[in-house]
Every structure is written in C-alpha cells, then in structure tokens.
Chains A and B, each alone.
Chain A
Amino acid sequence: MERPITIIPPHRAEAFAALQADILRLQGFTGKRTVARDVGLGPLQEAFPQGIFPIGAVHEFLSHRVEDRSATTGFIAGMLSPLMGTKGTSLWISSRRTLFPPALKAFGLSPEHFIFVDLRRERDVLWAMDEALKCGALTAVVGEVYDLSFTASRRLQLAVEQSQVTGFVLRHCRNQTVNTTTCVSRWKITSLPGDVSYGMPGIGFPQWNVNLLKMRNGKTGNWNVTWRDGRFDLPDADTGIIPLHHKKTG
C-alpha cells in the first residue's frame, strides 16, 4: 500500500473510524469516483459501506425461477440507470439471453447503449466477463451464468479492481445450496404482488422483495421495493426494514 496503516489516536471513537476507513481502503473502497453515484435506493443504501453503493466491485444476484430472474433483471436495470447516466455503455453477456431490449426503456435505460454478447458456452461467458470488466470504457458488465466457482469469482474481482467497472453476476441457481464466492454482495430478489394501494384495477407497479444476503463491510437486510414512475420507492426506513438474524454467508 502507498500509505502506512494509521496509528491509533487516543480517542476510541476516532480510532474506530480511522480503522474502518483503513479497512475500506485496503479492500478497495477508495472513495474516488463514488461521488454522485446514488443508485436511488433511498433508505436501503444505509446497508452499503459508508452508505455508498460499491462500484468497481462484483455483485452477485441469485434466482431460482425464471420469474425471479426477470424480477432480478428489473432491479438491476433500476440500479443501472443512474450508474450509466446518458453516456455510459454496458455489456450484457449471456449464454441463454431472453432479455427483451425495448423493455429496458421502462427502467430509464437506453437500450442502444447496451451491447449484447451472446455466447454458447458458460466458460466463454466467464472469459468474456473477465475481459470486459478490465475495460475502463464500460460502466457495468452484466453476466448471466449458472455456476460461479470461487476461483472464477476471484478472477472477476481482480479484473474490476483495476478498471473500476461494476460487475453484476446473475446466477440462475439450479440447486438450493450456493457456494462461496468473493463477490462483494449477494442479493436475492423475488416478485411480490404488484402495488395497487391506490385501489386501481390492473396489476399495478412492479414490487419486489429485496433480500441482501451479504454485503461486505455493510449490513444485510430485507426490503420491499416498488418500481414506480421511473425510480425505486421504498417504505420509510424505520418501518420498512425487517431485521434478519445475521448469519454467515461466505
């Protein structure tokens, strides 16, 4: 490291703050480029380290059913739109893509700023992700895979540390147990019945249960999130968070 670890100052609170900052710095949360990178998640963001969504890291999303996959895709699309802004470019790498590009527009994204890479083998998907995550010209790389081994996840993590590209791994899990990875976070998004609180007919705004199973240097939690009028809508922080007992998730 370029800077020696801070010597503990006399006051304890300061000491902890300094130590936390050091830990974050050593783990790659440099704080640079994170300015104005609000992903629009409101109170949920308190779960992130320093309240900032970690970019330049790989996030892992689990889905077991095809319906959950589209809920997960919607949630990712919602986070991507503030990250990408108007000029950002992202890569969508998949071996079995069913994503319908025009639908991204509803999440505030320009489908023409996505480049889709459709590959036949899972091995190629991981290779392409690894290459793409090294490319600093991209904002984010989304990869759809079935399995992500520990080694593969570490390769991806090493790739993003240089380029500060954010990686999203969508895992279509085939079985319930999930192996350990080095991804900075692990999410599980499932559909909830649509938000029709206004008593309107029809199926209403999409609503999801967002389960943050792991967040390095952050907190885990469980939230209900609605996508309404082109932004995330969360209930107030004090009522919305359903506290979970903390358990080790790798």
Chain B
Amino acid sequence: MAGRFVSIWFPYLLTDWFALRESYLHAVPFVLRTSAHGRMVITAANAAAEEKGITRAMVLADARAVFPTLEVRDAIPDLEARLLNRLAEWCIRFTPVTSVDLPDGLVFDVSGCAHLWGGDQPYLDAIVLRLRKRGYHVRAAMADTIGAAWAMARFGVEPFVIAPRDQLNALLSLPPEALRLEPDTTDRLHKLGLLCIRQIIQLPKASLRRRFGELVLLRLYQALGQVEEALTPVVPLEPYQERLPCLEPIVTATGIALALERLLDVLCGRLREEQKGLRTAVFKGYRIDGKVVAVSVGTSRPSHHVKHLFRLFEERLPTLEPGEGIDLFVLEAASVDDHVPVQEKLWGGMGGLGDMRLSELLDRLANRTGTASIRRYLPDEHYWPERSYRQALSLQENAATLWRTDVLRPLQLLAVPERIEVSATLPDYPPMLFRYKGAIHKIVRADGPERIEQEWWIQEGEHRDYYRVEDEGGSRYWVFRSGHYQEKTEQWFIHGFFA
C-alpha cells in the first residue's frame, strides 16, 4: 500500500474558536456549558482551565467550586462539525483529499503531495504552522495508515513523521486509547492491565475477539495497514462540474437548451484556461419530484468547443424529461484529457485525418449511431482475404505495413462466400459456366488459379483456389474452389466482383 496520511488533532477546537472572537479568553480559564438532565455540564475546557483540573463532562457547579472566576459561555450545537468542515475545505491547499474526523480532527490523504513542500517533515511543519497561525492548538502526525497517524497525533511523541512501513514500531508504546476504541473497551483493557498496544498485539487473536469484540482487531489491523480504510473527502473528486440552480422550475425545451448552453460556456471556459478538453460529459437535471434525469455524450478527442458539444447534446436533449420541472442543472465532465491548443487557421486547410472538423463530424455521427458503425482500416499481414485488413484503433494510427499491390483483389467482396453451381469442370481450370442467383454466366476468359492456404494456426479447413473470370457480358467475378479437384463433389463459391 503506497498511501500516506496526515491526521490533525485540535485539542481545544471549540475554546480556541471562542478565544479567537474574545481575545482575553486566551489566558483565563474558560469553559463551554450546556444543560443536561437539569444541570449545567461542561462540554469543553481550554488549556488554562484544564491546568486547574477542570475537564470535560464536569458539572459546572463543581468547576466553579474549584475556580470561582471561571469564564463560561454557552455551547453552540454542532459547531465543531461546521468548523471542521470549513477547516477541511481551507486545507485543500495542501492536498485534494481532505476529510473531517469528528469530533476534533481532520484526516488528509497526502499520497504524492509532500514532495512539493520538500519532504514529509517540512510538509507537516507547514500544515501545523499555518493552522497555528489561524489561532488553533494543533497536533499532527503523518504515517502510512489513518489509524497510525491518528494515534501519533493524539498520543505520540516526536517524531511525528512515521517512516513508511514503520507504523508498528511507532504504535507499540502507545496506550490502548490510541486505537480509536469505545471508552468501555479501553476501560476494560486498562482493568486487565493491558496498558500499551505492545501487550495487546501479543495476545492471541481469537481471545481478543472473544473478549473485546471485532472492533479491536479491525482497528488494530487498520492502524497497521493490513486492512484498507477509506476516506470521505469533503470536496468530492469531481473537479470539472458546473451547477445552475433555477429560481423557477424549467419545463420547456428552450429553457433546458439555454441552461445547457450557459453551463457549457462556463465549463469550456475553464477547460480552455487549463488546456484541457473533455472526453465524456453528463448533463443532469434534478427534478422537483426528486428524480434525476441525465444525458451523456462522448467525444473522440478532447474538446472544449462549446458549439460542437452543444450540437452533440442537442441530439439527446429531447430524451430529457422535465416532468414537473427541473430546478437544478449540473454539467459534469466525467473524463478530461490534455488538449493542446493549435493556432487557428484563417484559411481552411486541405483537411486530412488530423483535422478537428473531421473528428467533430465523427463525434456527431457516433453520437447518433454508435461508435461501432464508424470504421477505418489498416493492412494486416495475412494472405486470407477476409483477414488481410484490420480495423484501426484511432484516426491517427498509421499503417505498420504496406497494402499489397502485387495481387489483384475484387472491389466488392461478399462477407461470406456464396455457393455457386458450376458445370463442365476440368482439373486446375475454372468452370465453363456457373449459376449465381438464378442467372447462368458463361465464362469467356479467366485468370488463375491463385491458391490461398488456410492459416492453420488460426483456422483449420480447406485451401481455396481462386480464379478471376469474365462472362460474356464483361462482368468480372472472383470465384474459388474449396479444396482439391474432385469430380462431382467439389464445392465452388463466388467471393467477389471486380470492377
């Protein structure tokens, strides 16, 4: 596993926030309170208060008995979630994947980010420094797993950067609380004298599971990196997305087209600035009855051409049912590629396969009829006629070999050779006449035979002896005998028509 995570702990998140608003609260003992079961309970205490022995969950009256001039503020419900969300969004400057870790922390996936700050330690220092500047008490640690980083941030000592694959050694001396367990479980572990993770790891897994439940093992494995753990990023990774909320629900086709055009304008403007082009895009409408309707398009090469994309969508728009009305439009570029801008030509060139207009045309065709209907062919090194060419993978792919010009091939080739009835055959000669689709053709002139053997490594079967023949009307055919000459039982086929 190549992941790298940073866990950040704000030991005094709420009190720090109040102190930022009333600066004199910094130095004095200060708590937040809320009422529970008819009495005032402390929900958060700052560092100064904790020094006096005032902690969370104490009854306010007891705390006042300890320290009469205690500053008290009313707690704001759900403040920590909102604060952490805001902090996580702000921290996107450090990594694109930031996540809230309630009640008092953040977790970042920093895989591949640290080198931009010159290494793990400077990176972690930068994060801590920036957060401290904002006025928060911060502890942070970096490790290969979320669990290890979490444990080190809260219970560890320097160094806070755990080297890759070294989380086991770092965890050994930490208390069981570092495993993110329920308070009941940690209490029981303490009662049994299991005071650090080293002791827990030594126990048989089966008895750990039986006595303390599955969670202990799961947390242990997660911290050690034996079980993967996923993050829920604050900002989902859908970077190319535009939204258009509407005051009134939209029901008309014109309205939908307008919304699409506006969204395309914004999205393409952004793509152009970042020198990107979209490959697939989804246009979604959130209806007022709660349903989501969507249409999607794809392009054969990255594009940020508003007009072109609009035309692609235009075909599909009638399938978008507005129902009672759509009040939110979202345009997402699901896949995006680099798009190097080319100089605009004042005079249209000769065209060619690289022309943007051509790929736009093919997008339109593919959008209506499916990409499978558009084909381009390159030579393939096979004698067997049906295999002598293959489908090209892209418009730009070049032929690796040359087309064969030494043998004549018919301009029209039947996909499957058709049986013909022949008469008056001689060995190694074409027939005198043949019947095809009810008409009898008398062969006047002929060329051949050209024997083409089966490619036995691909397909087994008889070889073919091809003849180019011309009937008295001047029509030219490509016929073959399957296998060797045998009187009465041989099989003849027609395979193509020459020009």
Residue of A nearest to B408 (CB): A106
Q: Looking at the complex, which of A38-46, A53-61, A173-181, A187-195 is the stretch in contact with chain B?
A: A187-195
CB-CB contacts below 8 Å: B337-359 with A: 348, 350-353, 355-358
- Give the contacting residue for B445; candidates A115, A119, A192, A196; CB below 8 A: A196
5 residue pairs, one from A and one from B, having the closest CB atoms: A74-B499, A100-B413, A137-B355, A137-B351, A67-B475
How many residue pairs bridge A and B at CB < 8 Å?
A: 178
List 11 A-B residue pairs with CB atoms under 8 Å apart, sorted by A's residue number: A67-B476, A71-B499, A100-B496, A101-B377, A103-B410, A111-B389, A115-B358, A117-B374, A194-B445, A203-B469, A204-B445
State whether the Cβ of A89 lies closer than 8 Å to any Cβ in chain B.
yes
- Give the contacting residue for B409; candidates A103, A118, A208; CB below 8 A: A103
**From residue A155, how far is it (CB to closest CB) to chain B in Å?**
16
Q: Which residues of A have CB within 8 Å of B412?
A: 66, 69-70, 73, 98-100
CB-CB contacts below 8 Å: B450-480 with A: 468-470, 472-477
- Cβ A203 vs Cβ B447 within 8 A: yes
Q: Which residues of A have CB within 8 Å of B353?
A: 89, 113
- Cβ A136 vs Cβ B348 within 8 A: yes
Given contacts A67-B497, A136-B357, A203-B470, contact A191 B475 (CB under 8 A): yes
CB-CB contacts below 8 Å: A192-243 with B: 192-194, 196, 201-204, 206-208, 227
State whether the Cβ of B415 lies closer than 8 Å to any Cβ in chain A.
yes
Q: Which residues of A have CB within 8 Å of B476?
A: 67, 70, 191, 194, 203, 206
Residue of B nearest to A72 (CB): B499
Given contacts A70-B498, A191-B475, contact A115 B364 (CB under 8 A): no
Q: Which residues of A have CB within 8 Å of B375?
A: 115-118
Residue of B nearest to A109 (CB): B403
CB-CB contacts below 8 Å: A75-97 with B: 75, 77, 85, 87-89
Per the bound structure, the CA–CA distance linking A160 and B465 in Å amounts to 45
Per the bound structure, the CA–CA distance linking A206 and B253 in Å amounts to 56
- Cβ A112 vs Cβ B352 within 8 A: no
- Cβ B350 vs Cβ A87 within 8 A: yes
Most buried by B among A112, A136, A196: A112
A positions within 8 Å CB-CB of B: 65-71, 73-75, 77, 85, 87-89, 98-107, 110-119, 124, 127-128, 131-132, 135-139, 190-194, 196, 201-204, 206-208, 227
- Cβ B379 vs Cβ A102 within 8 A: yes
Q: Which residues of A have CB within 8 Å of B356?
A: 137
**From residue B404, how far is it (CB to closest CB) to chain A in Å?**
7
Given contacts A118-B375, A131-B364, contact A106 B413 (CB under 8 A): no
Q: Which residues of B have CB within 8 Å of A137?
A: 348, 351-352, 355-358, 361
**From residue A127, how far is it (CB to closest CB) to chain B in Å?**
8
Q: A112-B378, A202-B445 are in contact. List 5 more A-B contacts (CB 8 A).
A: A66-B412, A70-B498, A77-B411, A117-B365, A136-B351
Most buried by B among A87, A103, A203: A203
State whether the Cβ of B444 lies closer than 8 Å to any Cβ in chain A.
yes
- Cβ B499 vs Cβ A227 within 8 A: yes
Per the bound structure, the CA–CA distance linking A89 and B376 in Å amounts to 11
Q: Which residues of B have CB within 8 Å of A105?
A: 403-405
State whether the Cβ of B197 lies closer than 8 Å to any Cβ in chain A.
no
Residue of B nearest to A96 (CB): B415
- Give the contacting residue for B497; candidates A69, A128, A139, A190; CB below 8 A: A69
State whether the Cβ of B28 lies closer than 8 Å to any Cβ in chain A.
no
- Cβ B499 vs Cβ A102 within 8 A: no
Given contacts A115-B376, A194-B476, A203-B445, contact A135 B409 (CB under 8 A): no
State whether the Cβ of B446 lies closer than 8 Å to any Cβ in chain A.
yes
State whether the Cβ of B173 lies closer than 8 Å to any Cβ in chain A.
no
- Give the contacting residue for A119; candidates B373, B395, B468, B474; CB below 8 A: B373
Q: Which residues of B have CB within 8 Å of A202?
A: 445-447, 468
- Give the contacting residue for A192; candidates B362, B377, B474; CB below 8 A: B474
Residue of A nearest to B355 (CB): A137
Per the bound structure, the CA–CA distance linking A228 and B352 in Å amounts to 28
Per the bound structure, the CA–CA distance linking A111 and B408 in Å amounts to 15
